[in-house]
Structure 1
């Protein structure tokens, strides 16, 4: 599966900005607002986002390469869309918080 780092290396400045904004939604606990994001946490949530988009295909033992690529592309599109929303929250963080209640 594609990583946030690989997505960030793309030539498109909008994609780079969306990746950085998604990372900023995953600060280290107790970190200053201007501190470096917790990229491991952000990466984990990006991977989970791709899996959610794939749906039941993620549960199959053999994953179609096409299914994975489509889910990756949709996840990047979601990051681009979310980046236009002020102060959005990571959808995986929101789901985990809701599930914890």
Structure 2
């Protein structure tokens, strides 16, 4: 789906150009890390060397999640609270355990 297009099946969010570029940049780096790990497996690289790269990819995904969550709280959650949409707090509280697995 194109950036900025609406869909009836889920909520959407307009992101600033800066936020969009930052998130896409992180995802591109993570995608490269995953391709690198796949290449290591294909080349029969030693297990511990692969595991170090997996740990780095996990850390990168966690960093992406932290940035996205912080942006979500600063924008979507804050705006909904200002508008009296308290269900957004329940949504956030339900999300947190999923992020902390």
Q: Using structure 1 for the length normalisation, give the TM-score.
A: 0.29
Larger radius of gyration: 2
Q: Using structure 2 for the length normalisation, give the TM-score.
A: 0.29
Q: Give the number of the structure whose residues are more often helix, by fraction.
A: 2
- Quick one: higher RCO (CA 8 Å, sep 6+), 1 or 2? 1
